[in-house]
Amino acid sequence: MEKIERRQFLKLGLYSTAGLLVGSVFAFTKTDKEIFYQTNEDLLKFDWGFIVDTTRCIGCGACVRACKIENNVPDTYFRTWVERYEIDKNENVRVDSPNGSLGGFKDDNFDETQIVKAFFVPKLCNHCYDSACTQVCPVGATYESPDGVVLIDKERCVGCGYCVQACPYGCRYIDHEKGVADKCTLCYHRIHRGEAPACVDACPRNARIFGNLKDPNSKIRRILHERRYGLLKPELGTNPKCYYIGLDMEVK
Amino acid sequence: MQGPDSFVFPNELHVTWTVMIVLYPYITGMVAGAFIVSSFYHVFGMEKLKPIARFALVSSLAFLCFATVPLLNHLGRPDRAFNIMVTPNFNSAMSGFGFVYLFYMIVVVLEIWFSYREDFIEKYRNSKGLAKTIYRILILGDVNINENTKKYDRKVVTFLAAFGIPVACILHGYVGFLFGSIKANLWWSTPLMFIIFIFSAIVSGLAVLIFLYQFVHWLRRKQVNQESYELMSKWLWGFMIIAVILELMEVLSISYERTERWGVLEQLINGKLKISYVYLQIFVFSIGPFLILSVTSIAKNLNIKLKNTLIWIASGMLLIQVLLMRWNVVIGGQLVSKSMRGFTEYFPGYFDKEGLLVSIGIVIVPFLLLMLFDRLFPFFEKKGAS
């Protein structure tokens, strides 16, 4: 009796392991087959835009951590970060972003009883329509993809840092290990296969919304039609397409 | 690193353009300035400047040879440096750099070649062995020299000197434009930057020539040509006045406009740049040489030795002034956070790849090269010796 039970147990175990393996092979390879944007014409159907809902962000820093893991962002550099704004009874403003809020926020800057208003503002590359970084790149390594994402050709970049100077939002940095410029790509490798950028997926509050601005029925267009929003430094004429809902005048 | 009332974007804790980018405009400034001084003689016929015309030209070349060194040291991928000429993006202000630089190099080398051709041929005839071969290569094997060829050489030199003035202005004004056209930077973004850079270039060019001219003659225990030395000092006086006034007017106009920008820059000037800009660049190294040069230019009965020493000191001070100006522009501008809420910090480090030791080396090497050039084509006439 005992022997049969053991045999049965082993059989069962073997079958279920095999089943799990086969199942997971299907599950994990499935997405790879769904690359549906291949030609230039396909890409032209898209214009990727981004919404940051500052009224929803809770400053947990999950987006920053997700971005760092997804894109191998070097320490002390950031493709995205979260800023915290605290305003006290006397209208003093304090802003911070400790280590880009990689570990979230711990203590308040003011005495808690003095704070009258506080909010978080996630930041990332604005993928501007008229981006200053694309304009100044001397070798044409920074360019706008047909689907409206500002990207860097790392095979061509010389690492002069002119784009870092030109970006009004502080979104670029020189990756000293590779000697080239780097910044947010809207997780181009992910959106290319129909997934959302890592930060969007990681956000527990849906404070980050990503979508196709060329699609009149997209969620991003619907929200932009319903809500009031602002842009960062619109006076510089870069025409950013990262839209900030509930943008406060203190945010620059 | 950040105080409670100060905020910089997380990426701004790293200053991207280091002291190397301070040295580049400093060295090209001397290149452009020295060239323009040599053109004063060749084009505008200032005979008094003849004794230093060749020296100015060769100095220009010596600095030019090393102007790109700090840039290459700074590039993240120096191996791809030529991409700037292979795949230029002409929307970028920086993309023309390689072409302007190369073009200017050709003009300077040609001008030197034509103005030294006669000397080279003479040396070729009087030398032996390896030196003879070197001179033979330098003259491209052509020993034909007569009144006609001399006339032709002089014509070409005059043309190149005239043509080189706008090219020198472009070379350096262009560097100013690179900074002035960055709208994201509060401290740089001004159309005046272009003009300020041209004038400060002429100041540094004149200053380095005066400084070296006197210094070399002291070393060799010879007398400088008093007329040309004094003339240069007066030009230096004039140009430094224009340069400093322009620098101050720029800040004044930003200040007077009282926009949001001034609120930030005021803190920069009174904070991080207080010593290097207000005290050193303006008070000590601008007003100081201005007073000294005013005395040497106006006073009639000054002892010549004292006068020359004073001019020499003033030129040395102006060399430091221009270096400080480059530092305050390049580094100062990057200290301001684009969040407009705070300032970052920068110190190059002593022994880093882009640190102080390397910087000092990069500044000294062109002078050593100049010494070598003096062996090859002596620029001070021997008969001027006392």
Assigned domain for B1 exists: no
Is B182 near chain A, with CB under 8 Å? yes
Q: For residue B108, which amino acid is it?
A: V
In chain A, residues with a C-beta closer than 8 Å to the C-beta of B10 are 76-78, 81, 97, 99-100, 170
Cβ <8 Å between B77 and A159: yes
Distance CA B264, CA B343 (A): 9
pLDDT reported for residue A107: 77
Q: What is the mean pLDDT of chain B?
A: 91
* Rounded CA separation B321/B363 (Å): 15
For B265-312, what is each residue's pLDDT tens digit?
999 999 999 999 999 999 999 999 999 999 999 998 889 999 999 999
* pLDDT classification of A32: cutoffs 50, 70, 90: very low
pLDDT-based confidence at residue B128 (cuts at 50, 70, 90):
confident
Inside any domain, residue B6? no
Percentage of chain A modeled with pLDDT above 70: 92
Q: Is residue B151 part of a domain?
A: yes
- Mapped onto helix, strand or coil, the DSSP state of residue B336 is strand
Is B3 a member of any domain? no
pLDDT at A35: 54
As a whole number, the mean pLDDT across chain A is 91
What are B216-257's pLDDT values in tens digits? 999 989 999 999 999 999 999 999 999 999 999 999 999 999
> Is a pLDDT exceeding 60 seen at residue A2?
no
Structure tokens at A251: 């945010």
- Share above pLDDT 90 across residues of chain A, in percent, rounded to a whole number: 76
Q: Tell me, what's the pLDDT at B27?
A: 94
List the single residue in B with minimal CA-CA distance to A78. Answer: B11
Residue pair A120/B47 in contact (Cβ under 8 Å)? The answer is: no
Pick the residue of A88, A150, A158, A182 with the most B CBs within 10 A to test the interface with B by mutation: A158
Interface of B with A in 89-118 (CB under 8 A): 89, 91-95, 97
| pLDDT of A72 | 95
Say which CATH topology domain A40-76+121-252 has.
Answer: Alpha-Beta Plaits (3.30.70)
Contact A156 B13 (CB under 8 A): no
Residue A33 binned pLDDT confidence (cut-offs 50, 70, 90): very low
Higher pLDDT, A10 or A169: A169
Nearest chain B CA: its distance from A247 CA (Å): 15
Query: What pLDDT does residue B135 have?
Result: 87
Q: What percent of chain B has pLDDT over 90?
A: 73
B125 occurs within a structural domain: yes
Position B385 scores a pLDDT of 38
DSSP assignment of B204-227? HHHHHHHHHHHHHHHHTT----HH
Strands (E) in chain A, as ranges, are 48-53, 80-88, 93-96, 115-124, 142-144, 150-152, 173-175, 180-182, 208-212, 229-230, 242-245
| pLDDT (0 to 100) of residue B4 | 56
| pLDDT number for residue A74 | 96
pLDDT above 70 as % of chain B: 97
DSSP A10-71: HHHHHHHHHHHHHHHHHHHHHGGGG----SHHHHHT--EEEEEETTT-----HHHHHHHHHH
For B40-92, how does the pLDDT look when each residue is reduced to its tens digit (9 = 90+)?
Answer: 888 888 888 888 888 999 999 999 999 999 999 999 999 999 999 999 999 99
Residue A212's pLDDT is 95
Question: Which of B84, B91, B341 is nearest residue A95 as measured by Cβ atoms?
Answer: B341
Per DSSP, the three-state class of A175 is strand
Q: B83-115, pLDDT tens digit by residue?
A: 999 999 999 989 988 899 999 999 999 999 998
Q: What is the CATH number of the domain that holds B96?
A: 1.20.1630.10
* Model pLDDT, residue B381: 64
Number of domains present in the structure of chain B: 1
Confidence of residue A37 (pLDDT cuts 50, 70, 90): low
ipTM of the complex: 0.91
How far from A209 is each of A84, A196, A221, A228, A250, CA to CA, in Å? Answer: 20, 9, 10, 15, 22
Residue B3 has pLDDT above 60, yes or no: no
Give the lowest-confidence range in A66-80, A155-169, A196-210, B110-124.
Answer: B110-124
Best residue in B1, B5, B9, B344 for a mutation probing chain A (most A CBs within 10 Å): B9
Q: What is the pLDDT of residues A79-120, one digit of tens each?
A: 999 999 999 999 999 999 999 999 999 876 677 788 999 999
Selecting from B8, B14, B17 the residue whose C-beta is nearest the C-beta of A165 gives B17
Amino acid at residue number A248: D
Give pLDDT, residue A146: 94
pLDDT at residue A174 in the model? 96
Substitution target in A165, A183, A184 with the highest count of B β-carbons within 10 Å is A165
Cα–Cα distance measured from residue A25 to residue A15, given in angstroms and rounded to the nearest whole number = 15
Cα separation, A72 vs A83, in Å, equals: 21
Q: Find chain A residues with C-beta within 8 A of B340's C-beta.
A: 252
- The range of the structural domain enclosing residue B65 comes to 11-381
With tokens 């803190």, the residue in question is B267
